[in-house]
Structure 1
Amino acid sequence: MMSNLFSIFDPSTNLFNLSLNWLSTLLGLIFIPYSFWLIPNRYFFFWNFILNKLHNEFKTLLKNNYFNGSTLIFISMFSFILFNNFLGLFPYIFTSTSHLSISLSISLPLWLSFMFYGWINNSQHMFSHMIPQGTPSILMPFMVMIETISNIIRPGTLAVRLTANMIAGHLLMTLLSETGTKMPNYFIMFLIMIQILLLILESAVAIIQSYVIAILSTLYSSEVN
């Protein structure tokens, strides 16, 4: 019996005094060699189809800011988050995206780079975003304050959205599995069915959250120019 419900998210488990849990973040690299096969397999065709669809969508969102290779960073971010979300669904694999240290490390540098680029190279356009068109003069100071706050909390909302969704599903599955030992035998099959449905739901959440973060980051980058 675990002493703490949140111990499933504990990154301090160590081996030889080394915290090796974070190495699960690099497990997505094992999928890369598939891309270098002489004869492409179905996995390669399927993944290539997804990346092409994402490239076309990000290209549309970037509009005038698009240039060759500009969608690569968002596609890479989508792939990284997706692999880590899915790997966390396997037993005994540490979910790195359930920690703010990983999700903030993804969202904060991107947001800072967008802000620095926008305010240095296109400050007039950034100021115009502070006040929506048609705002009454008396409301302008409040609109500037609201827009500034909403802009500042963007990296935090991206990080918390991913972390909270990863934690919520894992906690629910853990709570249900803990009650399984105390249930009568005729309830076990019912519990297994619920766990399978939750696993399917978590798989969908893993895809949706990686897609949402990639899309929102693309939209934030398109606003600075």
Structure 2
Amino acid sequence: MMTNLFSVFDPSSSIFNLSLNWLSTFIGLLLIPMTFWFMPSRHQIMWNKVLITLHKEFKTLLGETSHNGSTFIFVSLFSLILFNNFMGLFPYIFTSTSHLTLTLSLALPLWLSFMVYGWINHTQHMFAHLVPQGTPAVLMPFMVCIETISNVIRPGTLAVRLAANMIAGHLLLTLLGNTGPSLGYLIVSFLIMAQIALLVLESAVAIIQSYVFAVLSTLYSSEVN
């Protein structure tokens, strides 16, 4: 019986037809209260340095005209995506960021809120963005169409980029892992080395993709100010 190649990524465990796999997204919340009761560990000190570095970088991207505390939402977004990307590298844990259900739920409201805020408060600035400086008068209608389309597909590109990058490495790991039982000992040893290398690569991808998602969201936000 043939099965869909992507069926291994589908939510499987459920109670009363309610999927329990998405609960993996909120496992990190169980770890937060512990930090209020213990002395700062090396892990917590390192994570605080990462958050401070991200805050400074996002503050630079947003510019001086940004509201105070506006970087917190992007730092939180980075933390949420990073945690879910890493959780997906563990066996039998559902990778929620490999599904468009989650990635679109993050990208679409962010982009929509930026657009509504920009068009209400900075209407002339938003109209000016539709025509790049120095565009000939003949090409202006075409540039407006191109800029409008590129603006509208932004949440889709954000969501698809994250989901596609997360599912691609996991799919390769799954395919290589399924071929293991039918191979000889020598080839299996090479296969294990390849799996370890892919796992290291996926760990880097988990960090990079969460950073890219947060930085692009910050850049889209900076354009409406």
Offset of 1:13 from its aligned partner? 3.3
Offset of 1:185 from its aligned partner? 1.2
Task: Work out whether 1:103 is the aligned partner of 2:103.
Answer: yes
Counterparts of 2:154 and 2:35 in 1: how far apart (Å)? 34
Task: Work out whether 1:156 is the aligned partner of 2:156.
Answer: yes
SS at match of 1:54: helix
TM-score, with structure 1 as normaliser = 0.96
38-47 vs 119-128, which deviates more? 38-47
Offset of 1:34 from its aligned partner? 3.9
**2:177 counterpart letter in structure 1:** S
Counterparts of 2:67 and 2:35 in 1: how far apart (Å)? 25
**1:111 counterpart letter in structure 2:** W
Partner of 2:216: 216
Q: Aligned pair in 2 of structure 1 residues 209, 98: CA closer, same or farther (>3 Å)?
A: same
SS at match of 1:64: coil
Deviation per CA, 1:22-78: give whole Å up to 9, x if none.
111111213313421341111110100000000000000010332321111000000
SS at match of 1:125: helix
**2:145 counterpart letter in structure 1:** M
Partner of 1:64: 64
Partner of 2:51: 51
Q: Is the 8 A contact 1:86 1:203 kept in 2?
A: yes
Counterparts of 1:187 and 1:2 in 2: how far apart (Å)? 26
Offset of 1:7 from its aligned partner? 1.8
Q: Is the 8 A contact 1:34 1:44 kept in 2?
A: no
TM-score, with structure 2 as normaliser = 0.96
Counterparts of 2:9 and 2:154 in 1: how far apart (Å)? 24
What RMSD, in angstroms, separates the aligned Cα atoms of the two structures?
1.4
16-25 vs 84-93, which deviates more? 16-25
Percent identity between matched residues is 71
Partner of 1:77: 77
Partner of 2:144: 144
Offset of 1:91 from its aligned partner? 0.1
Offset of 1:213 from its aligned partner? 0.5
Q: Is the 8 A contact 1:58 1:71 kept in 2?
A: yes
Partner of 1:29: 29
26-35 vs 39-48, which deviates more? 26-35
Deviation per CA, 1:90-135: give whole Å up to 9, x if none.
0000000001010000000000000000001110000000011100
Task: Work out whether 1:189 is the aligned partner of 2:189.
Answer: yes
Partner of 1:92: 92
Counterparts of 1:33 and 1:43 in 2: how far apart (Å)? 15
Offset of 1:9 from its aligned partner? 1.1
Q: Is the 8 A contact 1:21 1:94 kept in 2?
A: yes
Task: Work out whether 1:17 is the aligned partner of 2:17.
Answer: yes
- Structure 2 unpaired stretches of 5+: none
SS at match of 2:168: helix
